A = this chain, B = another copy of it.
């Protein structure tokens, strides 16, 4: 794993927890649980996804972008802007 992705281990762990959470909500849906209960769990998953996304953005800013600017690589700013456009609404 690259040095400039210092939060990557935590990001993988968060995604593993989110995966398990989605699986348990799928099981809740399959066993005919209340719509309201499902919605509350989906909101929790969305919030966990957003926090994971924030951590990825941090990694990107602290590592990749700083490094690329130092090396005079302009394309990385375009890619960052594109990712922010897609992620933040």
A residues engaging B (CB < 8 A)?
A: 1-2, 5, 8, 11-12, 15-16, 18-19, 22-23, 25-26, 29-30, 32, 34-36, 38-40, 42-43, 45-46, 49-50, 52-53, 56-57, 59-60, 63-64, 79-80, 82-84, 86-87
CB distance from A49 to the nearest CB of B (A): 6
Q: Is the interface of A mostly helix, strand, loop or mixed?
A: helix
16 pairs, CB–CB < 8 Å, chain A vs chain B? A12-B26, A15-B25, A15-B26, A15-B29, A18-B22, A34-B64, A35-B64, A35-B83, A36-B82, A39-B57, A39-B83, A39-B84, A42-B56, A43-B86, A43-B87, A46-B49
